[in-house]
Structure 1
Amino acid sequence: MRNWKNYVRWLFFGLFLFIIAQGKMVLWLIIFAASLPLAYYFGRLYCGYVCPMNTVMKLSEKMSGKMKRIPKEAPRWLSSGRMPWVFLFLSLGWMVFSRTVLGKNPPVLLIWLLLSVVITLFYKPSVFHNLICPFGVLQKAFSRKPYLAYKVVESQCIGCKKCEKVCPSASIEVLKASNKACITTSLCLQCGNCKQVCPKDTIFYQKR
């Protein structure tokens, strides 16, 4: 199952590179925009499978591990959660200014792709996913209460925290009070890593 998911990610990554090579960045932005209403029903599938940044971040994370770096927590200035919106409006402003005034298409997507790689070399992937990415913040807004999402059957959960360790967006937390795992749907990338490692098979992708 994991290999199949990786094939899907790399297929979309190849499509992204092809579209950018053709100078059709707007086409990829249209694909992203089309994914927003889908997030309302199916969660952040774009982030988990389509987004090129998520794909290269997985490689960056592996590279960081081989370099034996200890991933850092998020810096304090990001803790408010407002910066993704700031980065979103700055990116949009740059795109509009470059196209209307300079007559050029700025490499916004490629720059964010590079930043995602560099940041993940030093910080946990969740830092970029939740506190920096200007595209993820829109996906988060549309997927607060999706029709389908991963859910934990609490009666079967043993609080082993294996799901916590493999979640790239820190959307799963084993609550101290109940010792049961809880998934924050708006942060979940729908990657299914948690389900694959759950020893009790207590995580399901189903109606909320």
Structure 2
Amino acid sequence: MSKLKVTSVRIVFLALFVYLFITGKVMLWLSLFATTLIVGFFFGRIYCGYVCPMNTLMIPTEWLSKKLKLQTKKTPKWLNSGKFAWIVLFISISTMIIFNIVLNKNLPVLLILLIISVFITLRYKLEVFHNKICPYGILQKHTGRFARLSRRVQPNKCVGCKLCEKSCPSSAIKVSKENKKAMINPSLCHQCQNCSLACPKDAIYYGASSDMKLKQKKFNM
């Protein structure tokens, strides 16, 4: 799939999200999200790469941030524990329940998170929100790690150029210091094709692992 087609798919889902939000049918979107959690066991985190409206808006936001020289490579230390995303998830669910049952109102949590994701991306790299803040991402991470199909690297073709590593929005790819070969963490991979398009040797493919030992090898973050 070309970059143009990928962008088109994202825009279609963004338009669907806007439509469902305006018409008050947000529960249908949440149902779609729940479905992609199950799909993640087979095809990976395709929700994050193609469906998520936050990701769709964060991509041009990052481009703007770089143009205005607002972005920093540093990550706030208080986010490094990885627990904050769980806290955000708990707060999101709790507030939705309280507003719906107690106050009989629908709190636009999805819209609030979308706005937050854009502001976070104006300052920090995409991976900060994806991996350390997003409450939906933390759930996708735990199903995506078992993906039957995912982006994978053919070691015999990889030259360790790190172009894939630099292109990854979720920091799912690391080039080993020992053998200079790239490895992809399926729990973080959005299946977005950035790495495949960046690779000069066509070493990255989407499919099942042909080497179970490589699949089970510990990913070095």
Mark yes or no: TM-score above 0.5: yes
Question: Is contact 2:71–2:122 with CA below 8 Å preserved after alignment?
Answer: no
In structure 2, the residue matched to 1:19 is 20
Question: Is contact 1:143–1:186 with CA below 8 Å preserved after alignment?
Answer: yes
CA distance in 2, matches of 1:2, 1:178: 30
In structure 2, the residue matched to 1:69 is 70
Residues 57-206 of structure 1 correspond to what in structure 2 (within 5 A)? 57-206=58-207
Question: Is contact 1:57–1:125 with CA below 8 Å preserved after alignment?
Answer: yes
CA distance in 1, matches of 2:6, 2:201: 22
- For structure 2, the residue ranges without an aligned partner over 5 or more in a row are 210-221
One-letter amino acid matched to 2:182: A
Give CA deviations for 1:4-47 in whole Å, capped at 9, x if unaligned: 00000000000000000001111111110111000010000000
CA distance in 1, matches of 2:112, 2:72: 22
| TM-score normalised per structure 1 | 0.98
| TM-score normalised per structure 2 | 0.92
CA distance in 2, matches of 1:142, 1:30: 16
SS of 1:154's equivalent in the other structure is: coil
Give CA deviations for 1:154-194 in whole Å, capped at 9, x if unaligned: 12111000001110000001111111111011000000110
SS of 1:182's equivalent in the other structure is: strand
Please, which moves more after superposition, 3-12 or 172-181? 172-181
CA distance in 2, matches of 1:21, 1:69: 32
Please, which moves more after superposition, 148-157 or 71-80? 71-80
CA distance in 1, matches of 2:25, 2:87: 25
Shift of 1:70: 3.6
Question: Is contact 1:44–1:190 with CA below 8 Å preserved after alignment?
Answer: yes
CA distance in 1, matches of 2:139, 2:34: 9
- For structure 1, the residue ranges without an aligned partner over 5 or more in a row are none
CA distance in 2, matches of 1:192, 1:201: 12
- Cα RMSD of the aligned pairs, angstroms, is 0.8
CA distance in 1, matches of 2:75, 2:46: 24
In structure 1, the residue matched to 2:49 is 48
Question: Is contact 1:44–1:189 with CA below 8 Å preserved after alignment?
Answer: yes
One-letter amino acid matched to 1:141: H
SS of 1:156's equivalent in the other structure is: coil
Identity of aligned residues (%): 49
Q: Between Structure 1 and Structure 2, how many residues are aligned?
A: 208
CA distance in 1, matches of 2:73, 2:105: 37
Shift of 1:72: 3.1
CA distance in 1, matches of 2:188, 2:103: 37
Give CA deviations for 1:37-65 in whole Å, capped at 9, x if unaligned: 00010000000000000000001101101
Question: Is contact 1:166–1:193 with CA below 8 Å preserved after alignment?
Answer: yes
CA distance in 1, matches of 2:73, 2:162: 20
